[in-house]
Structure 1
Amino acid sequence: MPDPSPFWTPDVHADRRPFLMARNRIQAALRGFFEDRDFIEADPATLQVSPGNEAHLHAFRTEAMNADGSTAALYLHTSPEFALKKLVCAGEARLFSFAHVYRNRERGPLHHPEFTMLEWYRAGEGYEALMGDAAAMLALAAETAGARHLTYRGRSTDPFLEPERLAVADAFDRFTGIDLLATVRADGATDRDGLAAAMRRAGLRVADDDTWSDLFSRALVERIEPQLGQARATILDRYPIAEAALARPAADDPRVAERFELYACGVELANAFGELTDAAEQRRRFEMEMAEKARVYGETYPLDEDFLSALAIMPEASGIALGFDRLVMLATGAPRIEQVIWAPVARTDHR
C-alpha cells in the first residue's frame, strides 16, 4: 500500500517547506564559501563504468544499449570521487561538487537511496586543511539556518566551537578499553584473534565468522560513534590502514592512514583522505575490497581502469565527502532525511 502521507499533499508539504527553504539557503551559503576561496564547481556524470569499489557499498546497476543492439553494464555512482579525481589529474587545483549519488540497500532516518554529497578537493594541500573547511561549514550551516546548536535525537553540538581531534586508537582506548593498534602490524596486516579477545574482555559480541573489519566496525558503531560530537564536533582521525582503502599512510606510523571522519550529535557527516596516488597500491586495495564483497555478498563491481591510469599523474591532494542532507538535518532539527529532500524516492518496502 502507498505511503499514507505522500510528500506532495499540500499539508505535508507545508510542514516540510521550512526545512527545504533552509536547505536552499545553506546550499547557497556553501557555494559562496567555495567561491570565496577560488574553488571551481564541477558537475560529474552520474553514470559510470564503476560505481566505486568499497566492499560494503551497494550500487544501482543499469544497462547501456549501443547502436548495434549490444549492451554494456553501467552503474549509478555511489560517489563522484573517481570523476573528480580525474579532474584533479587534469589540472584543477580546487574543485567541489554537489552531486546526487545512489546507494542501494540503504534507507532509514539518516539514509536515503538517492542523496546529495558535497565533495571537494585541494591539490597540493594536506588533509588538515579539510578539517578547517569542515569546521567552518558547520558554523556556516547553523548560522544560515538561524540555529545556535546542531541537534539530532536529543543530542546537541555547538558548531561554533573548534572540533575535538581524536585518533581512532585513542577513541578505542577511551570508550572500549581496547588497545586497537596492538592488533595492527607495521605492514598494516591485522590480528583478528587478538581483537576478538579484546572485544570479549570489553563485553562486546564476537561471532565465529567475524573478520577483523567486522569487529572494528561493531565496536565503532556500538561504543564509540554515539559518544562523538557531543557538545562540540569530533574529528575522528588516523584510521587503521585496513579501514582506509583510498587514503595514504601517515608519515609517522604506517599502521594508520590520513583519514578522518567528522561527527556531530553522534552522526557521521563527512569522510576525508590524504589521497593515495600510488596506482599499483590502489589496484591492490580495490581487488582486496572486491574479494571481500564477493565473499560476503556474492558480487563484485568492475575497476575503473581510467581512474587507475590517471593516478599516475595525480598530484598530492586531499579530498572530502560530506553528506549535505545530513548537515541540513542537524542545522534545522529535522528528524528524518526525507524532511530535507525536495522530492524523496518512493518507498518500496511499504513501511
Structure 2
Amino acid sequence: MSDKTWWRPERHADRRPALLARNRIQQAIRGWLGNNDFTEVDPAALCISPGNETHLHGFATSMIGNDGIGHPMYLHTSPEFAMKKLLAAGEQRIAAFSHVWRNRERGALHHPEFTMLEWYRTGKPYTTLMDDCADFLMLAAEAAGANEFRFRDAVCDPYAAPERISVADAFAEHAGIDLLLTIGADGTTDRDGLSAQLDRAGIAHAPDDNWSDLFSRVLAERVEPYLGHGAATILDRYPLPEAALARPSGDDPRVAERFELYACGVELANAFGELTDPSEQRRRFQADMAEKARIYGETYPLDEAFLSALPLMPEAAGAALGFDRLVMLATAAPSVDGVMWAPVADPG
C-alpha cells in the first residue's frame, strides 16, 4: 500500500497536520528521554549482518574499498547489535531514533524503510520498560491532541494503564490452547501436540508447518485481533523458542523475558530482558539461519563482533517501538504511509 501522489500540493495539505503531529510526538519523546538521563546515539545503518531471525529479510548492498574490491554489506533491520556494543563499551542508558530497512514488508502497517525508537537500560528489570511504553503512549496522545488512539474500527485509551497478560493465558483465553503443554523445560517443542490442539480449535494449518509456524498462526488469527482494545495490552512471557534475543524467565525456563505492546490490535513495541550468553546466542542464531535456509534458501552472516561483545555487556533490558505506527494511531491515519514525510516509492 502506498500513496504514489503524496507530493501533489493538495495531497500534502491533507497529510501535513499528521506530519506536524509526528514532529511534536518525536520532540516530546526526545524531551522525556533527556529528562530520564538517556543518551541519544546514532548507529550506522550499514552492517555486517542485518539480523539473524528466520523471517527477517534485509536489503543487501556492497561496500567497495579504495582498492576497488567489494564486500557484501546490509542495511540494518534494527540498530540492536550496534547499541548492545555500546552497552558493552560502557554506556548505561541509551536511545536512538533509527531508520531501518526490512524487505518483503509493505502494507498498512509495514513499510520497507521506517523509523524505530530503540532504548536500553542497564541494571533494570525488563518490566521497567512496560512503564516506559505507557509513558510513550500518553506523550504521543498529548502531542497529537488526541483523546484516543484509533485504527480502522478499533479504539484504545492511551491514558489508561495497559493490561498485562501472558502469552500462555492469551492462547488459553482466545483459542482454548494449552501452549506450555507443548514446550519442554529445555525449550524443546512438541509440534504434533500443538498441531492437534489447532485441529481441535478449528485453526487451519499446513502439513509442513513447524511449531513456530503453528504458534504464529494462532497468534495472528485468534490472539492479536483482540489485543489493545479499550486499553493497551502488554503481551508478556513469550515462549523461549520465540525469543531469540531474550533471557529465560527466572521462574519458568519454558518462557522468556519478552513482551510486546499492542494498541488497537496493532503491535507497537517488542521488549526483552537481554540475553548476554554468547554461546547460547550463537546457538540460537545458527538454528534460525538453518531454518531460514530451509524456507528461503538463504542465510545471513553472524556478526562476530557482536558475539564477542556480549560477555562485556552488563545485564540490561531493551525495547524497540515502531515510531510510525505510534504516530499513525495517535493521528488516526489509515496507514503508516500517511505519517511519513516522503514514503518510499512503490516500483510496482
Same fold (TM over 0.5): yes
1:217 aligned partner: 216
Q: Which residues in structure 2 correspond to 1:271-310 (within 5 Å)? A: 271-310=270-309
User: Matched residues in 2 for 1:68 and 1:146: separation?
Assistant: 54
CA deviations on 1:219-256 (whole Å, 9 max, x unpaired) are: 00001000000100000000000000000000000000
Q: Are residues 1:82 and 2:90 paired? A: no
Partner of 1:184: 183
Deviation at 1:5, TM superposition (A): 4.8
Deviations 1:131-187, CA, capped at 9 Å, x for gaps: 000011101100110111110011001111111110000000000000000000000
Write the mapping of 1:35-50 to structure 2, written as runs, cut at 5 A: 35-50=34-49
Structure 1 position 4, deviation (Å):
8.1
Structure 1 residue 279 displacement after superposition: 0.3
Report what 2:329 is aligned to.
330
Distance 2:62 2:149 in 1: 41
Match of 1:226 in 2: 225
SS at match of 2:231: coil
Q: TM-score of the superposition, structure 2-length normalised?
A: 0.99
Instruction: Tell me the TM-score normalised to structure 1 length.
Output: 0.98
Please give the secondary structure, in 1, of the residue aligned with 2:185: coil
Q: Deviation at 1:207?
A: 1.2
Any conservation in 2 of the 1:5–1:12 contact (CA below 8 Å)? Answer: no
Residue 326 of structure 1 aligns with an amino acid whose one-letter code is: R
**Partner Cα separation in structure 2 for residue 33 and residue 270 of structure 1:** 17
Q: Is the 8 A contact 2:4 2:345 kept in 1?
A: no
Deviations 1:187-230 (A, max 9, x none): 00000000000000000012110000000000000010000001
Structure 1 Cα separation of the partners of residues 267 and 247 of structure 2: 21
Counterpart residue type for residue 244 of structure 1: A
Specify the alignment match of 1:116 in structure 2. Answer: 115
Distance 1:176 1:339 in 2: 34
Tell me the secondary structure at the aligned position of residue 150 of structure 2: strand
The ranges of structure 1 where at least 4 consecutive aligned residues each deviate by more than 6 angstroms after the TM superposition are none
Partner of residue 267, structure 2: 268
- Do 1:113 and 1:345's aligned partners in 2 also have CA atoms closer than 8 Å? yes
User: Per the alignment, in what secondary structure is the counterpart of residue 160 of structure 1?
Assistant: coil
Aligned letter for 2:201? A
**Structure 1 residues 300 and 336: alpha-carbon distance in aligned structure 2, compared to 1, 3 A threshold:** same
Contact 2:4 2:346 (8 Å CA) reproduced:
no
Partner of 2:170: 171
User: RMSD across aligned C-alpha pairs, in angstroms?
Assistant: 0.8
Q: Whole-Å Cα distance in 1 between the matches of residues 108 and 8 of structure 2?
A: 21
Q: Distance between the aligned counterparts of 1:311 and 1:188, measured in 2?
A: 22
Aligned to 2:236: 237
- 2:231 counterpart of 1:204: no
Conserved? CA contact 1:258–1:273, under 8 Å: yes
CA distance in 1, matches of 2:206, 2:62: 38
Please name the residue that 1:195 is paired with.
194
The alpha carbon displacement at 1:109 in A equals 0.4
Asked if 2 retains the 8 angstrom alpha-carbon contact of 1:119 and 1:321, the reply is yes
- State the alpha-carbon separation in 2 of the partners of residues 207 and 8 from structure 1: 43
Q: Which moved more, 1:183-192 or 1:4-13?
A: 4-13
In structure 2, relative to structure 1, the CA distance for the partners of 1:143 and 1:202 (3 Å cut) is same
Q: Distance in 1 between matches of 2:209 and 2:91?
A: 42
SS of 1:273's equivalent? strand
- The count of aligned residue pairs is 347
What are the ranges of 5 or more consecutive residues in structure 2 without an aligned counterpart?
A: none
SS in 2 for 1:8: coil
Please tell me whether residue 341 in structure 1 is matched to residue 316 in structure 2.
no
Q: How far apart are residue 67 of structure 1 and its match? A: 1.6
Q: Distance in 1 between matches of 2:233 and 2:4?
A: 36
Does residue 70 of the first structure (1) align with residue 69 of the second (2)? Answer: yes
SS in 1 for 2:254: strand
Report if aligned partners of 2:171, 2:179 keep a CA contact under 8 Å in 1: yes
Looking at structure 2, the residues matched to 125 and 275 of structure 1 have their Cα atoms a distance apart, in angstroms, of 11
SS in 2 for 1:249: coil
1:142 aligns with 2:124: no
Identity, % of aligned positions: 66
Question: Structure 1, residues 298-349: CA drift from partner, whole Å, max 9, x if none?
Answer: 0000000000000011000000000000000000000011110011000022
Q: Structure 1 residue 314 and structure 2 residue 313: aligned? A: yes
Q: How far apart, CA to CA, are the structure 1 residues paired with 2:309 and 2:276?
A: 9
- The letter of the residue matching 1:233 is A
Q: Partner amino acid for 2:128?
A: A
Q: Do the aligned residues in 1 keep the contact of 2:49 with 2:302 (CA within 8 Å)? A: yes
Using a 3 Å threshold, how does the CA distance of structure 1 residues 253 and 70 change in structure 2: closer, same or farther? Answer: same
SS of residue in 2 equivalent to 1:89: helix
8 A Cα contact 1:55 1:293, kept in partner: yes
